[in-house]
Structure 1
Amino acid sequence: MGLDCQSDRSKLSSPMASLERNNKILLDLARQPGNNLCADCGAPEPDWASYTLGIFVCLNCSGMHRNLPAVSKVKSIRLDRWEDSLVEFMRERGNSYAKAVYEKCVPAFYYRPQQRDCIVLKDQWIRAKYERREFTGENNYSQHSTLWKKGKDNKQFLKRIFLLSRKDFTLRYFIKEDSKVPKAVISMKDLNAVFQPEKINHAHGLQISYLHDERMRNLFVYHEDGQIIVSLFNAIRATRLAYLQRKHPTLRDNDLIPLIATHCLKEGYMEKTGPTQREPFKKRWFILCSKNRKLLYFKTPLDATELGAVFIGTESHSYRVESSGRGTRVGRWHYGITLQTPGRQFVFMCEQEQEQREWLEAFRKVISQPMTPEDYVQYTDVAQII
């Protein structure tokens, strides 16, 4: 009788033991090279898995996989119950296996989202890989799109037609479908496209920037369909890469890929005063870019055209930046920054001390960066008009 009870207790505890064993196996698998980073965004220590695709993913990407129930089903490798057959499937597959299948033909220009990128980029990357299977063979990218574009002088978004051409490396946009003459013809030479969902206040918000009459011009666009806006984004990247390949025929793609797009070092509000430093301080939106060594400023984050710019050289060319403390200024913004250039001293004010520290760090990063031959051209030619 005692032996029978012991046997019964053993049978009752067996499922729990099996659960613990399988979860331990999965945790060990998730620590292996390849599996130790999310299969989709590269986040470390993924603790979820798709048991239909055989991949390990992070919590955020697992939520996107839940939106693809026909191709991907996910479980927590710590909390959920895993059958032996599913554990064996995960052991046979893994992230490296899936990458070889689902990322076999990812074009060099295609942007691979990282952990901190916006949701629409990561969501469309996951859908492109597993739902549409775009990278298991050759692909065609959308080059004709109808987007919602913010008006130059108002906050209203209006429908505009965008046409991308690899023949002459341009992006054109038209007011109407039947328009013969484009509103603008944008060269790939200086075009930059980055997702800015927070700034545009839309999950699919894309900012397209380019030089027009030597000033930065911004277009703010979106589309309700994430696939369409991400397809256009990557089509722009493809055209930019083709332009760079034409311009730099001796460089390899690995050297050109970082040149496709530029991300600013820092952007946000500061207050500025004029050349004599006796003028009233005005609140402006600033953008600091390391690639062109420029500090741009706008009245608002969604301005179409910059109000001014200043080139930032190196310390050896008499550029330096320092904190100017709280000072005696009357007003609510007291955290000052002084930027010294060969021709002028600029004074800015930040609202918070943390903002001041971040701007100082960004300025110092640009100043410490050696100048390129292109930078020396700007150093002699750019007019400081802040």
Structure 2
Amino acid sequence: MNAQRSAGKLPGQERRAGAPSRLRRRRRGRGRGRGRSGSSFAGCAEPPADTGRAPAAMDYDHNKALLLELQRAAGTGNDRCADCGEPDPEWASYKLGIFICLNCSGIHRNLPEISRVKSLRLDFWESNLIEFMRNHGNLWAKAKYEAKVPPYYYIPKSHDCMVLRQQWIRAKYERGQFLDNPFHVSLAGSREGCLWKLGKGRRQFQKRQFLLSAREGVMKYYSKEQSKVPKAVISVETLNAMFQVEKIGHSHGLQITYITDGQTRNLFVYHESGKEIVEWFNAIRAARYHYLRTTFPNVPEPELIPRITRNFVKEGYMEKTGPKQKEAFKLRWFCLDSQERNLLYFKNPLDAFAQGQVFIGRKDEGYAVRDDLPQKVWVKKKKPVITLVTPVREFVFICENDRKQREWMDALNGVITQL
């Protein structure tokens, strides 16, 4: 009889009869599994599951108000991004219990085993997730994941390049690099390995062996992997490093500078691995910190930290004339180093050596910046000018537009007025 009934149905009719039941099971399965990664939770208590149920309008508005109130709550640290310090973060990791900015949320989104993110304003937050955020927060995360950050380690800000911010986040949450772990061994200030270095004539990058030793106070690099004699021995005393992504044209580009024979020498390097290049950068910082701590034992640490490494205050093209102020103006790449109080200029941004440099003293020593030309100096181009006054001579520069003129004048005045 059953066989006859089945035979009397059209093909696929029985499958359609059971389909709604299976559909309901699939929907329930999606709701239960949503928000889980299936792995351990970065050393933290497993957060409540995001059930994915459709919110009522009242729940949506009420919970959003609670979450925004929690983000603004005093004494929680939630009013700034937990990773880069950007104010008023509008995203959060409901797996780590932290409030983060839009840019850092993109990095967290690529770490699904460690972090899961939602928008504070656009996504629905269930009550149990809000309670989890209330019980954790940015200060709680800082105390746990940044417990053992070394004083030399560079903590990136919102304006820093992607590789610095990305590796900072991975070091904290993925590798647990700064947890209060008594078994963690650090080889700070010592490193050996290969980096791709820009060769002579700026034609191509070549693989070179580098060695850094804080104990010896030097960094060396070799032109060939098996060479016993280094191509250069660089004193940690004048060593500096800064990320230069756009200038070098690589997302992991690092500029290393040092003084040799009284001149500033540039090395432009990169590594394919973001982790490797950031570890090189922080190893250089560790070696510099060791040097400063040893050389200036009585200087307070807050005064030493800014001197470990530095970025140029301002870089870019300006046109420059010669000492007689009658020579033709030539386009040059300028770099302003506020710590050394030097304005360096190069024919090309990736040159190894500067064509010259101008020391910038204080106002009471006769240094000043003006937005006009010296007497008897005439310029054909109707573009904004800058006159840098020194006790020795006046330097005349032409800027591309008014905005760049203001930026350079502000930067130069900043050096002149600093103590």
- The Cα shift of 1:140 comes to 3.1
CA deviations on 1:71-120 (whole Å, 9 max, x unpaired) are 10101111112222211111110011111110010001000000111110
Identity of aligned residues (%): 54
Q: Which residue of 2 aligns with 1:94?
A: 137
Amino acid in structure 2 at the alignment position of 1:330: K
SS of residue paired to 1:143: strand
Q: How many Å apart are 1:53 and its aligned residue?
A: 0.5
Counterparts of residues 196-235 of structure 1 (less than 5 Å): 196-235=244-283
Q: How does 1:295-310 map to 2 (within 5 A)?
A: 295-310=343-358
User: 3-state DSSP class of the match of 1:313?
Assistant: coil
Q: Is the CA contact (8 Å cut-off) linking 2:55 and 2:124 kept in structure 1?
A: no
**Matched residue, 2:400:** 351
- Counterpart code for 2:402: E
CA contact (8 A) 1:45 1:58 kept: yes
Pair 169,368 (structure 1): closer, same or farther in 2 beyond 3 Å:
same
Quote the Cα distance in structure 2 between the aligned partners of 1:76 and 1:325: 53
Q: For the residues of structure 1 that align with 2:86 and 2:193, how far apart are their CA atoms? A: 32
- Structure 1 residue runs without a partner (length 5+): 1-11, 371-386
Displacement of 1:62 in angstroms is 0.3
Q: 2:172 aligns with which of 106, 126, 129?
A: 129
Separation (CA, whole Å) in 1 of partners of 2:363 and 2:165: 40
Q: Residue 135 of structure 1: SS of its match in structure 2? A: coil
3-state SS in 1 of match to 2:371: strand
| 1:255-304 residue CA offsets vs partner (Å, 9 max, x unmatched) | 21111012222111111111111111111011112211111111111111
Give the equivalent residue in structure 1 for 2:186: 140
Q: Deviations over 1:164-193 (max 9, x none)?
A: 112111111112221111111111101111
8 Å contact kept, 1:145–1:232: no
* Alignment TM-score, normalising by the size of structure 2: 0.82
Q: Decide whether the 8 Å contact of 1:325 with 1:334 is kept in 2.
A: no
The alpha-carbon deviation at position 14 of structure 1 amounts to 6.9
Residue 379 of structure 2 is aligned to residue 329 of structure 1: yes
Closer, same or farther in 2 for the Cα pair 1:304/1:14, shift >3 Å? closer
Please, which moves more after superposition, 253-262 or 294-303?
253-262
Aligned equivalent of 1:186: 234
Aligned residues: 358
Q: Does 1:120 align with 2:163?
A: yes
CA separation of 1:349/1:324 partners in 2, compared to 1, >3 Å: closer, same or farther?
A: same
What residue in structure 1 maps to residue 367 of structure 2?
Answer: 319
- 8 Å CA contact retained: 2:145, 2:172: yes
Q: 1:16 aligns with which of 46, 57, 64?
A: 57
- The verdict on how the C-alpha distance between 1:328 and 1:139 changes in structure 2, with shifts beyond 3 A counting, is same
Counterpart in the other structure of 1:374: none
Asked whether the 8 Å contact 2:196–2:271 carries over to 1, the reply is yes
**Superposed CA offset, 1:5-44 (max 9, x none):** xxxxxxx997222222221111111112300000000001
**1:328 Cα shift?**
5.4
Structure 1 outlier segments of 4+, above 4 Å? 325-328
Q: Which residue of 1 is the match for residue 79 of structure 2?
A: 36
Q: Deviations over 1:228-259 (max 9, x none)?
A: 00011111111110010110111232221111
Q: What is the RMSD of the two structures over their aligned residues, measured on CA atoms? A: 1.8
Q: Quick check: 145-154 or 217-226, which moved more?
A: 145-154
> Bigger shift: 245-254 or 117-126?
245-254
CA contact (8 A) 1:150 1:221 kept: yes
Match for residue 224 of structure 2 among 162, 168, 176: 176
For the 8 Å contact 2:202–2:350, the answer to whether it is kept is no
Normalized against structure 1, the TM-score is what?
A: 0.89
Secondary structure of the 1:45 match is coil
Q: Which amino acid letter does the alignment assign opposite residue 397 of structure 2?
A: F
For residues 127 and 363 of structure 2, the distance between their equivalents in structure 1, rounded to whole angstroms, comes to: 63
Instruction: Tell me the equivalent position of 2:15.
Output: none
Query: Greater CA radius of gyration, 1 or 2?
Result: 2
Cross-structure match for 2:412: 363
